[in-house]
Structure 1
Amino acid sequence: MKAGLSRRGLLAAPLLLASGRALAQPAWPVRPVRIIVPFLPGGIIDNLARMIAEPLQRSLGQPFVVENRGGAGGNVGTALVARAKGDPYTLLLGSSGPLAVSPTTEASLAFDPATDFSPVTILARTPLVLVVPANSPWRDLRSMMDALRGARQDVMYPTPGLGSPQLLAGESLRQRVGFPAQPVHYNGSAPVVMAIVAGEMPYTFENLVLVAQQVRQGALRALAVTSAERAPMLPDVPTMSEAGLPGFEAGGWYGLLAPADMPAGVVPRLHAATVAALAEPEVKRRISEMGSPNISSTPEEFRAMIAAETVKWRDVLLASRR
């Protein structure tokens, strides 16, 4: 027999190499995985993390443990995950504030959303509702805009804090309609809703799930939702586009991310398991109760969305400083 590889050997070589690479990839996970929630317990982000942790544990065979690392509007916990480069046992339940707003509002941010993370999938999008007190003279968005355009001094409106989707929606409304306004920052959404119900403030944007009950009971009047389509929880409330501001969309979004430089194979496996978790009936039901459609994305789609949202809100924030 002649020395060297036979034709059969040459054909088999790529298969052997491919299988060798597969065998060389470390098994994952082989120990508990932590999901960092960069906010205090409670609320949508914490609930989402705990919601997906159980099905991930079932499908991947290791505990997924939620750790709350709040501080600086979510930037502390987000930075912690960014520093865990290459660590497949540290994940982030990320949100629009730290990932798309902080790059503009924070002068010395300790992470770069474009390079420090490996996006896995978006988990949920929660629309906002433009609400006014029940005794407000504004019956719809057009009458509200007409009145605000005639304002001679700043119109005060409440928000749950700097960098929040509610603040961004309020500033976007001010710029689109053209009227003087100033936000009043409260410590969270609960006191914002109380202020509107009491008639202490003229209007606000707030999470659908937090105001839907007051709207149904007549304690608040909903003028529009900020999603592209009407919200099933309030089907009679028009979108902002339908009500008179075409293309106006705002709200919170949340997704699962890993640090940058993940070992080969981890992100695809985690993505498949997470998308399967989102498709479970109980998870779908609980996410719909947050006012979110049942959605997921590829890692590439999620990365592109983060970049697009960063540009969108950067433009709004920079315009607010002029």
Structure 2
Amino acid sequence: MVENRAGAGGNVGTALVARARGDAHTLLVGSSGPLAISPITETQLGYDPLADLTPITLLNTTPLVLVVRSASPFQDLSGLVAELRADGREVLYPTPGVGSPQLLAQEAFRQAAGFPAAPVHYPGSAPAMLAVIAGEFPFTIENLVLVAPHLSGGALRALGVTSLARAPLLPAVPTMAEQGFPGFSAGGWYGLLAPAGVPEEAVRALHVAAVAALAEPEVARRIGEMGGPPVGNSPAAFRAHILAEMTRWREVMTVAARPR
């Protein structure tokens, strides 16, 4: 039985599962926001993802795409970066909200490219993309699946993807790592978790079942449509992934908070 608990960018549903300690029948399909970003941006979150939840497996990763509007003069990432550096003025870029993977990806890009910039927060991705299409901002970094219709419709142009490997849905678009930003990687991800205190045998059984489900052709196809292939790693590897993401984005936010 699936119960959608919306609110606070996924924090409400995540907290609900975190409070169900020891209940192997209450599971969470969690995402990068409430699991790796909110814990370093919220002071009274109400849960600790590594103490109150038991990672089962990483389900998939969703790459982001740096896009400009089709009328933009920039045909590649190097041209955009050169202009942003040369201008010297603070660049504004749109985001779908504080704490979003899109915001952190754009801040990481700003830091790596070395130009002054500041975010403008919108209540979601749709208005942020429309603002770029309207020419209000020079670029944005957004979810691949969300920008895909605008790319195929000719309203936006993709200059780079944020995954380390090229996205299967956009094989002709080079990664940002290929274009002068070695190791650059950002994006959202989803995973299966149980509350803390679940017996180890239940964790093993849930992991085996989840990995088997990910291998089913129809499931793999649907997940591939989200922008990335199924993952299905071990509980230990998924825990390490969450910790690494928290550490990495905390460093980006620390640099962002310094006076410029």
For the residue of structure 2 that corresponds to 1:131, the secondary structure is: strand
- In structure 2, which of residues 22, 39, 46 is the aligned counterpart of residue 86 of structure 1? 22
Other-structure match for 1:280: 216
Paired AA for residue 259 in structure 1: P
Other-structure match for 1:217: 153
- In structure 1, which of residues 183, 193, 198 is the aligned counterpart of residue 119 of structure 2? 183
Cα deviation for residue 152 of structure 1 reads: 3.3
The answer to whether the aligner puts 1:248 opposite 2:184 as a matched pair is yes
Paired AA for residue 115 in structure 1: A
- In structure 2, which of residues 237, 245, 251 is the aligned counterpart of residue 309 of structure 1? 245
Runs of 4+ in 1 over 3 A off after TM superposition: none
State the TM-score, normalized to the length of structure 1: 0.78
What do you get for the CA RMSD once the two structures are aligned? 1.1
Q: How does 1:102-141 map to 2 (within 5 A)?
A: 102-141=38-77
Q: Equivalent pairs: percent with the same residue?
A: 62
- In structure 2, which of residues 17, 31, 36 is the aligned counterpart of residue 95 of structure 1? 31
Query: Relative contact order: is structure 1 or structure 2 higher (C-alpha 8 Å, sep ≥ 6)?
Result: 2
Other-structure match for 2:110: 174
Paired AA for residue 210 in structure 2: T
For the residue of structure 2 that corresponds to 1:125, the secondary structure is: strand
For the residue of structure 2 that corresponds to 1:66, the secondary structure is: coil
The answer on whether the counterparts of 1:225 and 1:231 sit within 8 Å (CA) in structure 2 is: yes
Cα deviation code 1:168-216 (max 9, x no counterpart): 1110011111111111111111112222222222100011111123223
Cα deviation for residue 305 of structure 1 reads: 0.4
- In structure 2, which of residues 81, 86, 96 is the aligned counterpart of residue 145 of structure 1? 81
Segments of 5+ residues of structure 1 without an aligned counterpart are 1-64
Other-structure match for 1:203: 139
Which range moved further: 191-200 or 133-142? 191-200
The answer on whether the counterparts of 1:151 and 1:180 sit within 8 Å (CA) in structure 2 is: no
Which has more radius of gyration? 1
The answer on whether the counterparts of 2:95 and 2:122 sit within 8 Å (CA) in structure 1 is: yes
Other-structure match for 2:232: 296
Paired AA for residue 180 in structure 1: P
For the residue of structure 2 that corresponds to 1:148, the secondary structure is: helix
How far, CA to CA, are the matches of 1:213 and 1:154 in structure 2? 30
How far, CA to CA, are the matches of 2:42 and 2:126 in structure 1? 26
How far, CA to CA, are the matches of 1:207 and 1:230 in structure 2? 14
Cα deviation code 1:51-102 (max 9, x no counterpart): xxxxxxxxxxxxxx11111222221211111111111121111111111111
How far, CA to CA, are the matches of 2:182 and 2:152 in structure 1? 26
For the residue of structure 1 that corresponds to 2:148, the secondary structure is: helix
Cα deviation for residue 242 of structure 1 reads: 0.9
